[in-house]
Amino acid sequence: MRTFAEFIGWLCLCTLAYNYVGYPVLLFILSVAYQAKSDALYLLHRGNRRSRPISEDLPRVALLMSAYNEESVIQAKLENCLHIDYPVERLEFLFGLDASTDATADVLTRFPNSRLRVLKYRTRRGKLSVLCDLAQQTSAEILVLTDANTMLDRNSIRNMVRHFVNPRIGAVSGEEVRTVARGSDPGAESLYWRYESAIKLLESRLNVSQGGNGAALAVRRSLFKPTRHSIVEDFQIPLDIRFNGFRVVYDPEVIAIEEITPTFSAQFARRVRIGAGNYQTLFRNPRYLSPWNGLLSFSFISHRFLRWLCPFVLLVALFCNIALATQPRFAALLALQCSFYSAALLGYALKRRGRSTGMLSLPLHFCSMNLALFLGLYAYVTGRQGATWAATPRLGNPMQDRAFLGTNERDTETTNAVVYRPAA
């Protein structure tokens, strides 16, 4: 029994080490090998390594956004949209209001622009249902999904569209740059975001990109075919596209800026919702784990599946360490684990008091992320997490003075929507 506990304990530690360190290192090595192969082929054949230029006849693009009670940011979002560098006659904006109860609709109606169309729903439907309805209102070849609190870079649409010259590319995701609201403490959030962005870049280079960024996600219209509601549609949609044989590209030059949620409780609630969506994606799509998908499933298991197992791996490792605490090495591991969790609790106490967490932000972020995953699974299994969402608290919109402004199945019928167009 002791030998079995030792084996499980070490297996848990190896799983954690591989997921957070081993897999990124392996990705880097494979990426270097891929680049060496590409260089060798170029030296042999001297072909054109550049992307084919985009023709002057740019595709028509529709920017789709589902909003619920976003009056604090919607004005800045509209101004940001109008500053995007793309031919006016080939870019339109469709906003869907998911039964908003604030002044969001009033702001939109006061904003005169012939390219803006708004659909207002009287009952909550969920983000994906709204986006699907908006997609039916346009014949644009490229659909760009974005959020109300996201400010897009002036060149973001052009940078996404250039990839669709390749007919095998089905979706393009951008880089989400997160800013800090005045008075808030990002802790390890920004560091973790850079870590994940590096993994996304390497995965894109190896053609195993999975998921996307809801702040800036472009999808080929012919491939936008959601059949069921999803809690995290920006993950499910590109994942389906990739597993159906089309490429999903991560382009760090497609920049979207978004403010970090100002309170720890709001950040945690957001992670729980995303965690529920992750498990929903996993349980609905066991085919993603099939070895017949080759490197794609290997990447999905290494990056996503093992990450979602981490809360349970940590619990099993703790129990194994307790059971084996009579052995010096496991007693040391138990002491380290308890110290790490104690540091997270201390960091949380400081956060609650509005004080900086300093070096404690790392254990706090790690533990809160895994606790959120655990609670996300509970929320999904018990049906407590639906397709609708609560408005995220905002501290106003500090992004307005940044250069970016210069630069469930369908549960209601179409008659549930009130369509209105502000006067041109």
Cβ atoms of 69 and 87 closer than 8 Å? no
Residue span of the structural domain in which 359 resides: 1-35+263-393
Verify that 86 and 156 share a domain, yes or no.
yes
Verify that 149 and 190 share a domain, yes or no.
yes
Q: Classify each residue of 286-319 as buried b or exposed e, where b means 16 or more C-beta atoms within 10 Å of its C-beta.
A: eebeeeebeebbebbbbbbbbbbbbbebbebbbe
Rounded-to-integer distance, Cα 244 and Cα 286, Å:
14
Verify that 221 and 138 share a domain, yes or no.
yes
Mean pLDDT along residues 284-300: 92
Q: What pLDDT is stored for residue 143 in this prediction? A: 96
What are 229-255's pLDDT values in tens digits?
Answer: 888 888 889 999 999 999 999 998 898
Verify that 6 and 23 share a domain, yes or no.
yes
Verify that 98 and 240 share a domain, yes or no.
yes
Query: Is 213 inside a domain boundary?
Result: yes
Please choose, from the candidates 149, 124, 90, the residue with its C-alpha nearest in 3D space to the C-alpha of residue 400: 149
Verify that 249 and 298 share a domain, yes or no.
no
Q: What pLDDT is stored for residue 421 in this prediction? A: 36
Cβ atoms of 287 and 281 closer than 8 Å? no
Rounded-to-integer distance, Cα 321 and Cα 337, Å:
9
Q: What pLDDT is stored for residue 424 in this prediction? A: 32
Number of domain units in the chain: 2
Verify that 240 and 179 share a domain, yes or no.
yes
Give yes or no for residue 208 having a pLDDT over 80: yes
3-state secondary structure of 150: strand
Rounded-to-integer distance, Cα 169 and Cα 240, Å:
13
Highest mean pLDDT among 36-45, 170-179, 186-195, 293-302: 293-302
> pTM score, two decimals?
0.84
Give me the count of residues in the chain. Answer: 424
Verify that 239 and 317 share a domain, yes or no.
no
Min mean pLDDT across 108-112, 125-129, 158-162, 291-295 is at 108-112
Q: What pLDDT is stored for residue 185 in this prediction? A: 59
Query: Is 177 inside a domain boundary?
Result: yes
Query: Is 361 inside a domain boundary?
Result: yes
Query: Is 55 inside a domain boundary?
Result: no
Rounded-to-integer distance, Cα 310 and Cα 319, Å:
14
% pLDDT > 90, the chain: 49
Q: How many beta carbons lie within 10 A of that of residue 344, not counting itself?
A: 22
3-state secondary structure of 79: helix
Query: Is 40 inside a domain boundary?
Result: no
What are 354-377's pLDDT values in tens digits?
Answer: 788 888 989 999 999 999 999 999
Verify that 254 and 293 share a domain, yes or no.
no
Secondary structure of 342-354 in the HEC alphabet? HHHHHHHHHHHCC
Verify that 78 and 191 share a domain, yes or no.
yes
Please choose, from the candidates 336, 308, 343, 310, the residue with its C-alpha nearest in 3D space to the C-alpha of residue 235: 308
What are 135-175's pLDDT values in tens digits?
Answer: 999 999 999 999 888 899 999 999 999 999 999 999 999 88
Mean pLDDT along residues 331-336: 93
Please choose, from the candidates 82, 93, 97, the residue with its C-alpha nearest in 3D space to the C-alpha of residue 60: 93
pLDDT greater at residue 89 or residue 405:
89
Mean pLDDT along residues 205-217: 86
Query: Is 43 inside a domain boundary?
Result: no
pLDDT class of 400 with cuts at 50, 70, 90: very low
Structure-block tokens of residue 278:
């992750």
Query: Is 50 inside a domain boundary?
Result: no
Mean pLDDT along residues 273-287: 92
Cβ atoms of 67 and 146 closer than 8 Å? no
Verify that 227 and 243 share a domain, yes or no.
yes
Give yes or no for residue 407 having a pLDDT over 60: no
Rounded-to-integer distance, Cα 267 and Cα 180, Å:
13
* Domain CATH for 227: 3.90.550.10
Verify that 22 and 66 share a domain, yes or no.
no
Beta strands at 116-121 and 91-98: parallel, antiparallel or unpaired: parallel
Highest mean pLDDT among 52-66, 254-268, 292-306: 292-306
Query: Is 356 inside a domain boundary?
Result: yes
Enumerate residues 6+ apart whose C-beta is below 8 A from 194.
Answer: none
Cβ atoms of 70 and 391 closer than 8 Å? yes
